[in-house]
Amino acid sequence: MIQYILECIAFQLVFLVIYDFFLKSETFFQWNRVYLIATYSLSLLLPWIKIDAFSSEVPRTFQGYSEFLWNLDQKPILLNAEVNQGFSLAWQEWVFIIGALLSFLWFVSKLWRLHQLRSKGTIHYFKNFTQILVQDSHVAFSFFKSIFLGDQLPHKEYNAIISHELVHIKQRHSLDLLFFELMRIVGWFNPLVYVYQHRIAELHEFIADAQIPKEERKSHYELLLSQVFQTQHISFVNQFFKTSLIKKRIVMLQKSKSKKIWQLKYLTIVPVLLGMLLYTSCQNEISSEEKKKSPLSKKIEALELEINNKDSLTQDEKDQLAKLIYNTFPRDLKGLSGEKGEITYSGIPFAVVDEVPVFPGCENSADKRACFNERIQKHISKNFNYPQEAQDKGIQGRVNVIFTIQNDGSIGNVKMRGPDRLLENEVARIIKRLPKMTAGQHKGESVDVPFSIPVTFKLK
């Protein structure tokens, strides 16, 4: 979800930059109105759109390796967590809900203020609008088909103000503002939704001012500059007077209409959209070549089936399988070194090494291999802590981990694959807490010994 939100905000930022640098200064007001609403809506949809033609397939590490190749050193360790099946939310979700609730209450308070103005005012019904005369006030704004006018305004200016507000009513500008107001509730944490709403509000005023005949514009300037109107801090109403917009409105009134050729500026969005679609369509998955089963993979599957059908393996079979495991892992998992394709193994598999590493407490054990396995299980179970965030999200599954008991007895080269980074991090934390051991011996020398083990997380 966080990635989705960040992508939406990033797309909105790009769209706003295009608007401010290329489109805002033009007099194509209706086009700009469509642009602002459409691009905001697109920013919410684009992260979900994936076009196969644009998809970029990237090979994933470990993807091609059968599960049984990870699991021959040790039986799976099952880690359970008691989870309260009642209603629970992560703290991030609580922050989002509380913020949205406060934003909604603020929205309701604005509606209540409008209701109070209406209830205290004198209402006059006309064919295309309703006029609310507000007592002891200088307000001048519209909301849907209602025009609010303060009784302290000069009556001679009523017609000019009403004509202006009727443009807002006929073009349903309140719907635009209400749309962004609702987006502010859902996306209260997003600063760009406020920018969008401000841009659309000033655009509405440009649209309404543009309807004024040229011969009446001088008197309109005087009206804007001479009166001190009382404004309502309600973001989803079209206010006739707003101090921050006066200068911009006068500049736009004086500006000549933009040449039609400049409408080509809107084409700048085409390559931007293509780039966004290319980004959202990229997938981190196996390439089509990897998906095809090679003769080798078929042989491995047959071997896996044969192993699963046998109750036990002979020591010789275990040794051969251990070598297969080691030769199957990618170079970055085995701690390999070498140049120009010449690979030198820097470790001996656990099942093959002459003398396995000695876990503290196993020094006097007759079967040090079995003791090692038992102590590993106890260590993982003792230090296990199911991540709360993973519990909240219902994340469970198997994490396959391989690490090396190095020739000095320390733990290194921890690599893993799991269903989620949260579970992987927890397993890495546990493995890195393993005590220093007596290094494994092979042919009379201390050697690195890779060891693999599956750890299963399960929610009850």
CATH code for the domain in which residue 343 is found: 3.30.2420.10
Q: Are strands 449-459 and 77-81 parallel, antiparallel or unpaired?
A: parallel
Dist CA 236 CA 144 (whole Å)? 10
Q: What's residue 331's pLDDT?
A: 42
In a domain, 419, yes or no: yes
Q: What are the backbone dihedrals phi and psi of residue 231, each rounded to the nearest 5 degrees, phi first?
A: -100, 150
- The sign of the CA dihedral 273, 275, 279, 283 is positive
Q: What are the backbone dihedrals phi and psi of residue 416, each rounded to the nearest 5 degrees, phi first?
A: -155, 165
Nearest to 26 by CA among 252, 283, 258: 258
Neighbours of 348 (CB within 10 A): 22
Q: What's residue 312's pLDDT?
A: 56
Q: What's residue 65's pLDDT?
A: 42
Dist CA 351 CA 348 (whole Å)? 8
Tokens standing for 332? 């970055």
Residue corresponding to tokens 């007001």: 29
Dist CA 81 CA 251 (whole Å)? 66
Tokens standing for 300? 């491995």
Residues belonging to the chain: 460
In a domain, 183, yes or no: no
In a domain, 278, yes or no: no
Q: What's residue 57's pLDDT?
A: 47
Nearest to 195 by CA among 25, 47, 17: 17
Neighbours of 449 (CB within 10 A): 26
Dist CA 193 CA 12 (whole Å)? 9
Q: What's residue 290's pLDDT?
A: 45
In a domain, 373, yes or no: yes
Q: Which residues, at least 6 apart from 380, have a Cβ–Cβ distance to it below 8 Å?
A: 77, 79, 430, 453, 455
Q: What's residue 137's pLDDT?
A: 84
Q: What's residue 233's pLDDT?
A: 59
Dist CA 75 CA 453 (whole Å)? 7
Q: What's residue 193's pLDDT?
A: 96
In a domain, 281, yes or no: no
Calculate the alpha carbon distances from 258 to 24, 60, 211, 261, 262 in Å: 11, 52, 16, 8, 7
Q: Long-range contacts for 298-303 (Cβ within 8 Å, ≥24 apart)?
A: 300/66, 300/69, 301/66
Dist CA 1 CA 31 (whole Å)? 32
- The pTM of the full predicted model, rounded to 2 decimals, is 0.60
The total number of structural domains in the chain stands at 1
In a domain, 390, yes or no: yes
Could you say which DSSP state residue 399 is in?
E
In a domain, 241, yes or no: no
Q: For helices 29-45 and 269-281, give the axis angle rounded to 10 degrees.
A: 10
Tokens standing for 181? 């107001």
Could you say which DSSP state residue 121 is in?
S
Dist CA 15 CA 195 (whole Å)? 12
Tokens standing for 301? 């599957």
Tokens standing for 415? 């690599």
Q: Are strands 146-150 and 130-134 parallel, antiparallel or unpaired?
A: parallel
Q: What is the largest CA-CA distance in the chain?
A: 107
In a domain, 19, yes or no: no
- Segments of the chain with pLDDT less than 70: 52-89, 215, 217-244, 283-347
Q: What's residue 291's pLDDT?
A: 47
- Looking at the DSSP bridge assignments, the partners of residue 445 are 442
Calculate the alpha carbon distances from 209 to 138, 144, 235, 406 in Å: 20, 18, 19, 78
- Looking at the DSSP bridge assignments, the partners of residue 300 are none
Q: What are the backbone dihedrals phi and psi of residue 41, each rounded to the nearest 5 degrees, phi first?
A: -65, -40
Domain range enclosing 427? 67-81+315-459
Calculate the alpha carbon distances from 353 to 7, 76, 307, 356 in Å: 50, 22, 22, 6
Dist CA 264 CA 246 (whole Å)? 29
Q: What's residue 240's pLDDT?
A: 58
